[in-house]
Structure 1
Amino acid sequence: MEFRPCIDLHDGKVKQIVGSTLGYSNQSVVENFTSSFDSSYYAQMFAQDHITGGHVIMLGPGNEDAALAALAAFPQGLQIGGGITAANAKKYIDAGASHVIVTSYIFHDGQLDLERLKNLNELIGKEHLVIDLSCRMKDGKWFVVTDKWTKFSHFEVNAASIQYIENFCDELLIHAVDVEGKKGGMQENLVRDLAAWTSIPTTYAGGVRSLEDLEMFNQLASGKLHVTIGSALSIFGGDLPYTDVVKYCKKAG
């Protein structure tokens, strides 16, 4: 298990928000935390602690400069997502991202667009691609949600679909949409499912809020999954000491 930190960018600032409140014109975005430090501060912190594989997520427009600053501060140490397409993916790889992260670009009109996915593979290489299967439960099954998590796709996340999509990427990132940013505990059944279904590096994000949660997560996943913690972390205004998480995950290996 590895700790995979995050740098979420909104309006050019490092923030922690409730992701499921994005994308709606009739409601405000719920912000848990706005940092007084810029993106490069956090990137340098993760570099100093030798924590690779964290992700920079651009939540809407106006975040590119901050994203590029983070990549410059930790070359090859961070992944980047949010608005990634075939038109800009190579730019971010060239700017120092180890991987680009995609969801909505390859899941549009409710379907997996295999042509777009294969095009990305040819453009930047499978080894530089992370697919984000942010999902939500419907009728007892997990489905990918797109467009800032406002739309259900027809793509069910299960053992067969993960086995298939792993052929096109280097890693998977899974946001448990209903608990992400809420510091209310993880979706344990999703953690168990992902541990059983995945065979490539996979990072789970959503609801982990304490060292006890972290230990439970590692047990549920049998050490197979990596973990992201955002709003609960002390560096993002939470109560869970960042240094404790780093120590625990390095010890857990």
Structure 2
Amino acid sequence: MSFQDNKMLIIPAVDIKNGKCVQLVQGEPGTEQVIIENPEKVAKKWEDLGAELVHIIDLDGALESISNIETIKKVLKEVSVPIQLGGGIRSIKYAEKLLNLDIDRLIIGTMGIKNPETISKLSKEYGSDRVMISLDSKDNKVLIKGWKEKIDKSPTEISKEFQELGAGSILFTNVDVEGLLGGFYLDPVIDLVNSVDIPVVYSGGVTSLDDLRQLQSTGAKGVVIGSALYKDKIRLEDALKYQDIK
């Protein structure tokens, strides 16, 4: 699924840990505030409510090197809308395995940042539209290894490199606000969108319909919403009204 000029896709998140759908605070294990059985049913619910794309993160893969591949397969069998998937993609071989499962778009973080040639290889083989680089930011520096390690580059500094390498889009997560349900910072999103010519999808802290209204003005092509949906701060049906940019 390609991003469209006149849309800011509203993308519900399904984060998987121990085979269950969870929501963590700032990605910290042990901070689960939502635990739901059968992530495939959760993904199907978002599809039934009108989501055109679902965002899946394998938290065990990202944090502990344990894959939820069987649960991911259940999600793929259950839903018909495109899936973008990230978490624990540490090798070209595993990335290819996932892409061959018909994952629409693969979200690659640490592997791409430490080994940029992997982005180039995958984009050439599978197409740029299917390769998304994940730039997770704290204090305006990019984080890797499940948000445990910081590198000395800002998202805007590193974004152009990945555009040139063939990444088709960027997932930008502001860890400073992620999972806190306290809103988000507008300027970092605008700076990143203006630094590249490829689509930017934003994630982190989106809590209200007013946040979505503000995001519409940034040029972001999508927004991932997690905790706000699960804690009924935002109804997906209401959020989808902000998908088409006037």
Alignment TM-score > 0.5, same fold: yes
Query: Aligned residue for 1:16?
Result: 23
Query: Aligned residue for 2:145?
Result: 147
Q: Does 1:56 align with 2:56?
A: yes
Write the distance in 2 (CA, Å) between the matches of 1:94 and 1:46.
24
Structure 1 residues 244 and 76, CA gap change in structure 2 (3 angstroms)? closer
Q: Does 1:117 align with 2:119?
A: yes
Structure 1 residues 54 and 194, CA gap change in structure 2 (3 angstroms)? farther
Structure 1 residues 146 and 247, CA gap change in structure 2 (3 angstroms)? same
Q: Quote how far apart the aligned CAs of 1:123 are.
A: 4.4
Write the distance in 1 (CA, Å) between the matches of 2:33 and 2:190.
28
Q: Does 1:79 align with 2:80?
A: no
Write the distance in 2 (CA, Å) between the matches of 1:192 and 1:216.
11
Secondary structure class of the residue paired with 1:217: helix
Query: Aligned residue for 2:136?
Result: 134
Secondary structure class of the residue paired with 1:191: helix
Q: Quote how far apart the aligned CAs of 1:150 are.
A: 0.9
1:48-82 Cα distance to aligned partner (Å, 9 max, x none): 35533432100012522111211222356001111
Write the distance in 1 (CA, Å) between the matches of 2:16 and 2:176.
20
User: Which one-letter code corresponds to 1:13 in the other structure?
Assistant: K
Structure 1 length as normaliser, TM-score? 0.83
Secondary structure class of the residue paired with 1:7: strand
Q: Does 1:247 align with 2:241?
A: yes
5+ residue gaps, structure 1, are 23-28
Write the distance in 2 (CA, Å) between the matches of 1:119 and 1:186.
34
Q: Which 4+ stretches in 1 moved above 6 angstroms?
A: none
How many residue pairs match? The answer is 232
Write the distance in 2 (CA, Å) between the matches of 1:224 and 1:188.
11
Structure 2 length as normaliser, TM-score? 0.85
5+ residue gaps, structure 2, are 1-7, 61-65
1:188-229 Cα distance to aligned partner (Å, 9 max, x none): 22122123223222110011101112112223x1x4431111
Secondary structure class of the residue paired with 1:134: strand
Write the distance in 1 (CA, Å) between the matches of 2:181 and 2:208.
9
Secondary structure class of the residue paired with 2:106: strand
Q: Quote how far apart the aligned CAs of 1:249 are.
A: 2.1
Q: Does 1:156 align with 2:154?
A: yes
RMSD of equivalent CA atoms = 2.1
1:111-161 Cα distance to aligned partner (Å, 9 max, x none): xx2333333334433331110011112xxxx22101110100233322x53
- Once the two structures are superposed, the pairs formed by residues 1-253 of structure 1 within 5 Å of their partners are 1-22=8-29, 29-36=30-37, 38-60=38-60, 61-75=66-80, 77-84=82-89, 85-108=91-114, 113-137=115-139, 142-158=140-156, 161-167=158-164, 168-219=166-217, 221=218, 223-233=219-229, 236-250=230-244, 252=245
Write the distance in 1 (CA, Å) between the matches of 2:198 and 2:118.
21
Write the distance in 1 (CA, Å) between the matches of 2:67 and 2:123.
27
Write the distance in 2 (CA, Å) between the matches of 1:62 and 1:163.
30
